[in-house]
Amino acid sequence: MKKRSDITGQFQLSFGMIFSIMIIIATLAIAGYVTIKFLNLENNISCKLFFDDLQKKIDKAWYEDFSSSTYSNKVPRGIDKICFGNSTQKAQNEGDQKILDEIEFYAKKDSNLLFYPLNGCKQDEFTFQIKHVKIDGFFCSESKSGNINIKLNKGISDALVKLSE
């Protein structure tokens, strides 16, 4: 007959095995965290690149005597609308006013380009200041099939480039 001590101790893990399992779990957790941060960084870079490209097009139009063009570009992932104007302006329609009310608390006072929703870009980088532009009222341009179109107009007697939907 077998003794009770022979039956109970058969499934034992050594300290080395337990430590190895803990290291594997920690490695997987850190890899998941780094992957999520990297994906967020990619979107933040997309927002900054969108702004830089738009600013270059506006600068080009600003240097010319007369310009009438449409800026078209791919919207960063996670962004539904791109809004123009600052928090002190009146929105052009009721839907834009709701967005302005939501963004107003977080927006910088001198910013005139805002990405919406706020979680699409990093919290402190969803607003930018475009130079050399005139925006008559706060408006948002909605993404259509992942692209956005914005009209850039500058007349001969205009000092700034006018943005419109």
- 103-156 pLDDT, tens digit each: 776 667 778 888 887 766 765 566 788 899 888 888 888 888 888 888 999 988
Q: What is the DSSP string of 96-154?
A: HHHHHHHHTTTS-TT--EEEESGGGS-GGGSEE--SSEE-SSBEEEE-BTTEEEEEEEE
Instruction: Say how far residue 162 (Cα) sits from the centre of its chain.
Output: 24
- 9-65 pLDDT, tens digit each: 556 678 888 889 999 999 999 999 988 877 777 667 888 888 899 999 999 999 988
In the sheet that 81-84 helps form, which strands lie side by side, from edge to edge?
Answer: 127-128, 113-116, 81-84, 139-142
How far is 63 from 46, CA to CA, in rounded Å? 26
- 71-103 pLDDT, tens digit each: 888 888 888 888 888 777 777 778 878 877 777
